[in-house]
């Protein structure tokens, strides 16, 4: 742990990785004064730091020498909702799903660009800093008014079925984050539907037909192949 700065208004980032080169790279691109950086080289150190430092965001590698990253997520989630971005070389979809289901907020496959990383950090921090969602969600030409239950594209109102609206509302409340298939199915259709992915696919398709300009190149609801969906937040 090496706190660079102690100003409480500056977001505290906990970097967890056992590769010195990766830590060095992360520290060099993130030490621009915007964040206070803490680091941990293994799972237990990460858990300890999460409790003592109380970071605003954790960036976690899955392949740690002592504990598996997914296990670390689960243990943190037992007492904290701090956003967790997974940085991993594991690109298999079931790995991603495991991380998301354990409670990860985002997942970046190594190697990644700095710009991508900054964007993800920003989204995650935004969500953690303002807990209560805005009553009106706007991205691009899409407007979702959660109070009036109205959805509009380019100012024109779009009529959604109750299920489609619930689906969209769920995604709005997790905008910028990936929702796995099972998370969505559980929340909207109930536990018994967890295996019924077709239902979800059909509803997503219908939703896209209504809100996307070109459903084959969706702008708002993007697919994380094999993992789930993400609503763009900006």
Partner 1 sequence: MRNDEDLRPSPETLLRVAQAEEEKERAKLKIFLGYAPGVGKTYAMLEAAQLRVRDGRDVAAAYVESHGRSETDLLLEGLEQIAKKGIDYQGVSLPEMDIDAVLARHPQIALVDELAHTNAPGSRHEKRWQDVEELLAAGIDVYTTVNIQHFESLNDLVAQITGVTVRETVPDRLLDLAVEIRLVDIPPEDLLQRLKEGKVYLPKRAAMAADKFFKPGNLMALRELSLRRAASRVDDQMRAYMESRSIEGPWHVAEKLLVCISGSPFSEKLIRITRRLADEMKAPWHTVYIETPGVGKEVRENRERVWRDLRLAESLGAQVGTLTATQVAQALIDYAHKNNITKIVVGKPAKARWREFLRQPLVDQVIRISGSIDVYVVSIDPGGEKAKVTAAAPAPRKEVPWGGYLKAFLLVMTTSLVCEPARHYLAPTNLVMMYLLAVVLAATRLGRRPAILTAFLGVLAFDFFFVPPRFTFAVTDTEYFITFAALFIVGVVISTLVSRSRERAEAIREREQQTSSLYYLTRELSASTGLDGILSALLKNIEESLNAKVAVLLPEENRLKVLQESEELRLDIKEMAVADWAFRNGQPAGRGTDTLVSASLLHLPLQTTGDTFGVLAVRLQDEVEYHSPLSRRLLQAFVSQAAFAIERVRLVQQAEEAQLMHARETLERALLNSISHDLRTPLVSITGALGALRDQESILEEDTRRDLMDAAWEEAARLNRFVANLLDMTRLESGALKLKRNPADVEDVVGCALAPLEPQLAKRKLVVSIPPGLPLVAMDQILMTQVLVNLIDNALKYSPPEAPIEVSARVDDTVLTLEVADRGPGVPESDLGRVFEKFYRIPVPEGAGGTGLGLSICKGVVDAHGGAIRAQNREGGGLLVRVTIPLRSNDKGV
Enumerate binding residues for partner 1 (CB under 8 A). 91, 93, 111, 113, 197-198, 201-202, 204-205, 208, 214-218, 222-223, 225-226
Least Å distance between CB 178 and partner 1? Answer: 14
Question: What does 145-161 look like in DSSP terms, one character per residue?
Answer: ETTTTEEEETTEEE---
Q: Both tokens of residue 225?
A: 């192949």
C-alpha to C-alpha distance for 162 and 30, rounded to whole angstroms: 43
Return the number of the residue (153 or 199) whose C-beta is nearest partner 1: 199
Dihedral sign for Cα 140, 145, 151, 155, please: negative
Least Å distance between CB 114 and partner 1? Answer: 10
Instruction: Output phi, psi for 106, to 5 deg.
Output: -150, 165
C-alpha to C-alpha distance for 146 and 165, rounded to whole angstroms: 10
Least Å distance between CB 51 and partner 1? Answer: 36
Return the number of the residue (45 or 227) whose C-beta is nearest partner 1: 227
Least Å distance between CB 110 and partner 1? Answer: 9
Return the number of the residue (58 or 97) whose C-beta is nearest partner 1: 97
Return the number of the residue (23 or 207) whose C-beta is nearest partner 1: 207
């Amino acid at each position: 742990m090496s706190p660079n700065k102690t100003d409480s208004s500056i977001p505290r980032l906990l970097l967890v990785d056992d590769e010195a080169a990766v830590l060095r790279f992360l520290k060099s691109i993130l030490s621009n004064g915007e964040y206070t950086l803490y680091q941990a080289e293994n799972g237990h150190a990460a858990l300890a730091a999460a409790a003592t430092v109380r970071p605003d965001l954790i960036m976690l590698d899955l392949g740690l020498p002592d504990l598996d990253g997914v296990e670390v997520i689960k243990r943190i989630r037992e007492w904290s909702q701090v956003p967790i971005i997974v940085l991993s070389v594991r690109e298999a979809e079931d790995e991603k799903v495991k991380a998301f289901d354990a409670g990860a907020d985002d997942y970046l496959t190594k190697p990644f660009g700095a710009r991508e990383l900054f964007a993800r950090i920003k989204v995650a921090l935004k969500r953690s800093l303002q807990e209560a969602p805005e009553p009106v969600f706007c991205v691009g030409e899409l407007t979702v008014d959660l109070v009036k239950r109205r959805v509009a594209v380019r100012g024109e109102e779009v009529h959604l079925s109750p299920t489609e609206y619930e689906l969209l509302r769920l995604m709005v409340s997790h905008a910028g984050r990936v929702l796995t298939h099972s998370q969505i199915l559980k929340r909207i259709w109930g536990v018994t539907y967890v295996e019924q992915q077709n239902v979800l696919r059909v509803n997503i398709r219908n939703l896209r037909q209504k809100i996307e300009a070109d459903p084959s190149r969706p702008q708002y609801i993007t697919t994380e192949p094999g993992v789930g969906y993400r609503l763009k937040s900006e």
